[in-house]
């Protein structure tokens, strides 16, 4: 599944594409593999407090809102991954939202 990403750096806007190349459902959580500017494995699911995402290769994790809440998820993910990777993961989750029951 392909998805698009966009970031503003001052007056300049950059756009890039990403691809979800792997998807696994484990019952209580999901795992996706994203190829974009980086290759990122994301494990995500729900807790009593809402959603979560962990990126083990980056040693990072955070809480998520609904997968379609691109703004809030981007805020959380960029805090732990940096701007480009955070936007990439948030965009991938948003694109995936209609395909899964989360």
Establish if 102 belongs to a structural domain.
Answer: no
Say whether pLDDT at 76 is over 80. yes
pLDDT 10s digits, 11-52: 999 999 999 999 999 988 999 999 999 899 999 999 988 899
Establish if 14 belongs to a structural domain.
Answer: yes
Domain span including residue 91: 2-96
Establish if 101 belongs to a structural domain.
Answer: no
pLDDT class of 81 with cuts at 50, 70, 90? very high
Establish if 13 belongs to a structural domain.
Answer: yes
Establish if 65 belongs to a structural domain.
Answer: yes
pLDDT at 98: 86
pLDDT 10s digits, 41-62: 999 999 988 899 999 999 999 9
Classify 56 in phi/psi space as left (phi over 0), alpha (psi -120 to 50) or beta.
alpha
The helix (H) or strand (E) run that includes residue 96 is helix 83-96
Query: For the chain, how many structural domains are there in total?
Result: 1
Reference 18, options 1, 43, 41; nearest CA is 1
Establish if 45 belongs to a structural domain.
Answer: yes
Taking the model in full, what pTM does it have?
A: 0.94
Establish if 78 belongs to a structural domain.
Answer: yes
């Amino acid at each position: 599944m392909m998805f698009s990403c966009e970031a503003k750096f001052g007056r300049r806007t950059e756009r890039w594409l990403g691809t979800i190349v792997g998807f696994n459902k484990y019952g209580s959580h999901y795992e996706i593999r994203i190829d974009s500017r980086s290759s990122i494995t994301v494990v995500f699911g729900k807790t009593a407090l809402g959603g979560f995402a962990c990126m083990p290769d980056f040693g990072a994790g955070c809480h998520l809102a609904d997968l379609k809440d691109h703004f809030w998820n981007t805020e959380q993910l960029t805090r732990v991954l940096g701007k480009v990777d955070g936007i990439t993961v948030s965009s991938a989750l948003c694109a995936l939202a209609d395909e899964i029951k989360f």
